Amino acid sequence: MGMPITVEVPDFFDPKNAIEKFFLYFSEVDGRFSTYKETSEITRMNKNRLQRAGYSEDMKTVLALCEETKKQTDGYFDIVTADGRYDPSGLVKGWSIYNAAQLLLKEGFKNFYIDAGGDIQTGGNNKEGKRWSVGIKNPFNQKEIVKVLYIKDEGVATSGTYIRGQHIYNPKKRSESITEIVSLTVVGQNIYEADRFATAAFAMGKPGIAFIEKLKGFEGYMIDKEGIATMTSGIEKYTFSNS
C-alpha cells in the first residue's frame, strides 16, 4: 500500500495463520485501490476501462462512504481530483486498517496494535496490561515526540505535509497549497472514523481543529507552521497511562 505496516500481538498463542490472513488482506486492498497500479480497479475506473456495473462490492462500499463523508464535512472531503480522477486513499487507508483489525478479533485476538503508515488501531492492552502508547511527532524534528497518547480499542490518525509534502488539498481552493498547518492528529472510536475526519480537518486548515472539537467522540491535536500546538478540550484524557 505504499507504506510500512506493522502489527504487535502480545496474546499468548501462535498468531502465524492469522497474521498471514492479515497481510494478505492488505495486499488485496492495495491491488484494488492503488492509484499507482495499472491493473487496479480504481485505475481501470479512472481510465474508463471499467463501468459501474462491474464495480466490486468493496468499491461500491468505499464510494458510498466517501460520499457520506463529503456531506458530513461540508465538502472538505472530496475524492475527485483536479483532473477528474477518483482517489479514495484518504478513506481507504483507515477503512482497511479497521477491517484488518476485525480479522484479528475474529481469530480470537483481544490485544493488538496495528500501525500502517502512522495511522493506528489498537485492541485491548499492551503486554504490560496497560493502554497502548502513541507518540505524536514533532513535524520539524521527527525524532522528537511532542505528545504521548494512551489509548485502548480506539484509533489515531495523523494528516500532514511534513513527510509526503503537499498531497492533501482544500477542495474549495484547489489551486492553493495548505501551508498554515503541518500536522493534525485525531483520536476516534476507531481508525476508520479518525482517518477520514483527520483528512477533512487538515483540508480545512486552521479551522480544522474547531471542526474536530465539535465532533462528538473525537479529540484532536494540531501543529501549525510556527510549531504552535492547538488541541481540543478533551485530549488530556488520553495522557494518562493507567489501564
- Give the separation between CA 204 and CA 214, rounded to whole angstroms: 14
CA angle 243, 137, 101 (to 5 degrees): 50
Q: Is the pLDDT of residue 52 over 70?
A: yes
The pLDDT tens digits for 186-239 are: 999 999 999 999 999 999 999 999 999 999 999 999 999 999 999 999 999 999
Q: How many domains does the chain have?
A: 1
The pLDDT tens digits for 34-47 are: 999 999 999 999 99
Task: Tell me, yes or no, whether 243 lies in a domain.
Answer: no
Q: Check if the beta carbon of residue 102 is closer than 8 Å to that of residue 191.
A: no
pLDDT of residue 8: 93
Banded model confidence at residue 15, pLDDT cuts 50, 70, 90 = low
pLDDT of residue 241: 73
Q: Check if the beta carbon of residue 202 is closer than 8 Å to that of residue 159.
A: yes
pTM of the model: 0.93
Q: Is the pLDDT of residue 243 over 80?
A: no
Share of the chain above pLDDT 90, in %: 80
pLDDT of residue 79: 96
Task: Tell me, yes or no, whether 154 lies in a domain.
Answer: yes
Element (H, E) at 187: strand 181-188
Task: Tell me, yes or no, whether 142 lies in a domain.
Answer: yes
Of 142, 104, 135, residue with least CA distance to 8: 104
Task: Tell me, yes or no, whether 216 lies in a domain.
Answer: yes
Task: Tell me, yes or no, whether 77 lies in a domain.
Answer: yes
pLDDT of residue 192: 98
Go through 109-142 and write b for each residue having 16 or more CB atoms within 10 A of its CB, e for each that does not. Answer: bebbbbbbbbbbbbbbbbeeeebbebebbbbeee
Q: Check if the beta carbon of residue 212 is closer than 8 Å to that of residue 202.
A: no
Question: Residue 161 sits in which domain range?
Answer: 5-238
- Give the separation between CA 51 and CA 142, rounded to whole angstroms: 43
Task: Tell me, yes or no, whether 139 lies in a domain.
Answer: yes
Q: Report phi then psi at 114, rounded to 5.
A: -110, 130
Banded model confidence at residue 18, pLDDT cuts 50, 70, 90 = confident
The pLDDT tens digits for 108-150 are: 899 999 999 899 999 999 999 999 999 999 999 999 999 999 9
Task: Tell me, yes or no, whether 23 lies in a domain.
Answer: yes
Q: Tell me the CATH number at 178.
A: 3.10.520.10
